[in-house]
Amino acid sequence: MSSDPSSATLADLGESGLVAKILARISESQVQSSSVEIAAGDDAAVINTSGSSFVLSVDMYVEGKHFRTDWSTAIEIGRRCAAASIADVCAMGAIPVGVLLAIGLPSTTASPWVEDFMAGFMQETSDASSILLGGDVSGSESIVISVTALGTVVTGAAITRSGARAGDIVGICGRSGMAAGGLRVLQRGLRSPRALVDAFRVPEIDYSAGVRAAEGGATSMIDVSDGLVADLENIARESGVGIEIDTEKIVVPAELVSTAAAFGADPMAWILAGGDDHAFVATFPPTKPLPAGFAAIGTVVIDRVGEVHIDGVRYEDAYGATPGFQHFSS
């Protein structure tokens, strides 16, 4: 490792260190624009246009880092790239509209792989009531996929990460820990339990959950891609609140219990730290019932700002590790 910080590499800085550097650079140089309601930094940007607003988000998926062609079929990879990208738009309370796809492919890529990838990508896009709005194809050393997702929301009604208030209920819609369990299974060279492996390969996303949360008065929302605790920390920090999770309220699926036991792991650690399931977590005023599909798992508190506590203690203290989900390295 270099001792001169100006010549640090990505490996030294880490992805979050790099993103912080980039965000610092951006905020210096942004021009003002009256049509931009929310710029970079949340799940997606929001653009206001006479009464309705557009929500936009981009994600990149790299072979060997986010997916492996020996672990997932081309159809599954296509579905997952569309699903994970569109989830960001839903997490703003928006209705998905369309996607743009840029794909880099090695010259050795077989044509049927690309056709299957597109079939899966279009199937999931269609399942989210969206269409393909544009694309680009290029050669590259390994498969690289970039998806921009677009949705619409009533102007002023987008749900950010910064609106949670002390006393709010934390609700989750969707699964957590299943994809992380599936990744552990695949990393050991196994292919079952199928429910976990399938969850890693293609997330099951309720594309109307974000709109239901918005209609149900959600004060903040995020989709869980980096891990339940890690993503709730984003809400806690940006809302200036603390969050308490009560693990007794979290239902642990039977497949997670048995697989974690076989691996000598704690299934609750997978649920709290695992990413890639793209559940929606949101905060709601305590005065109303939670929207359909959302289950209460905790509360927003006024103290311990920016922190998430699990049954009264920090994740690091309860589980001896940081809760960020590192996807995997090839």
Q: Which is nearer to a second copy, 87 or 105 (CB)?
A: 105
Task: With residue 89 as reference, give the H or E element that holds it.
Answer: helix 74-90
Instruction: Work out how close the CB of 201 gets to a second copy at its nearest, in angstroms, rounded to a whole number.
Output: 19
Residue with tokens 């997670």: 256
Instruction: Work out how close the CB of 102 gets to a second copy at its nearest, in angstroms, rounded to a whole number.
Output: 4
Phi and psi torsions of 58, nearest 5°: -130, 145
Which of 219, 225, 239 has the alpha carbon at shortest distance from 307?
239
Instruction: Work out how close the CB of 192 gets to a second copy at its nearest, in angstroms, rounded to a whole number.
Output: 29
Instruction: Work out how close the CB of 205 gets to a second copy at its nearest, in angstroms, rounded to a whole number.
Output: 17
Instruction: Work out how close the CB of 324 gets to a second copy at its nearest, in angstroms, rounded to a whole number.
Output: 15
Instruction: Work out how close the CB of 166 gets to a second copy at its nearest, in angstroms, rounded to a whole number.
Output: 29
Q: Which two tokens stand for residue 311?
A: 């049954």
Q: Which is nearer to a second copy, 40 or 252 (CB)?
A: 40
Map residue 12 onto helix, strand or coil: helix
Instruction: Give CA–CA dist 91/86, Å, rounded.
Output: 9
Q: Which is nearer to a second copy, 125 or 299 (CB)?
A: 125
Q: Which is nearer to a second copy, 116 or 198 (CB)?
A: 116
Q: Which is nearer to a second copy, 118 or 296 (CB)?
A: 118
List residues bridging with 153 in a β-sheet: 53
Instruction: Work out how close the CB of 277 gets to a second copy at its nearest, in angstroms, rounded to a whole number.
Output: 18
For residue 276, the one-letter residue type is D
Q: Which is nearer to a second copy, 35 or 192 (CB)?
A: 35
Which of 243, 255, 238, 121 has the alpha carbon at shortest distance from 198?
255
Instruction: Give CA–CA dist 185/180, Å, rounded.
Output: 9
Instruction: Work out how close the CB of 118 gets to a second copy at its nearest, in angstroms, rounded to a whole number.
Output: 5
Instruction: Give CA–CA dist 283/25, Å, rounded.
Output: 31
Q: Which two tokens stand for residue 241?
A: 């609140």
- Angle at Cα 211 formed by Cα 210 and Cα 217, nearest 5°? 95
Q: Which is nearer to a second copy, 12 or 317 (CB)?
A: 12
Map residue 53 onto helix, strand or coil: strand
Q: Which is nearer to a second copy, 54 or 284 (CB)?
A: 54
CA distances from 138 to 114, 131, 236, 238 (A): 13, 21, 40, 37
